[in-house]
């Protein structure tokens, strides 16, 4: 018996990139039916050294 697990779009993009690293971002977007912005955001999320946004200094 096979169990299907629904992955969110970002994880689908990351796994597709891991399986086919030679694909460009445009190719990933067209194959998965997502926008180029979604591909860029999903791939940028796990890049080493990326900042996660501004830190607020609240006194």
- Confidence (pLDDT) at 29: 95
- Decide: 42 and 14 in contact? Cβ < 8 Å: yes
Residues 6+ apart with CB under 8 A from 50: 44
pLDDT of residue 24: 94
User: In this predicted structure, what is the pLDDT of residue 56?
Assistant: 52
- Which ranges in 1-59 belong to alpha helices (H)? 9-19, 25-32, 36-45
1-58 tens-digit pLDDT:
677 777 788 888 988 998 999 999 999 999 999 999 999 998 887 656 655 555 555 5
CB 4 within 8 A of CB 39: no
Fill in the DSSP letter of residue 20.
Answer: -
Q: Tell me the C-alpha distance between 9 and 4, whole Å.
A: 15
Decide: pTM greater than 0.75: no
What pLDDT, on the 0 to 100 scale, is given for residue 7?
Answer: 78
């Amino acid at each position: 018996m096979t169990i299907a697990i629904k992955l969110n779009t970002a994880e689908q993009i990351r796994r597709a990139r891991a399986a086919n690293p030679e694909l460009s971002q445009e190719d990933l977007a067209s194959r998965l039916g997502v926008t180029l912005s979604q591909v860029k955001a999903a791939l940028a999320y796990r890049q080493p050294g990326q900042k996660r946004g501004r830190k607020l200094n609240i006194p």
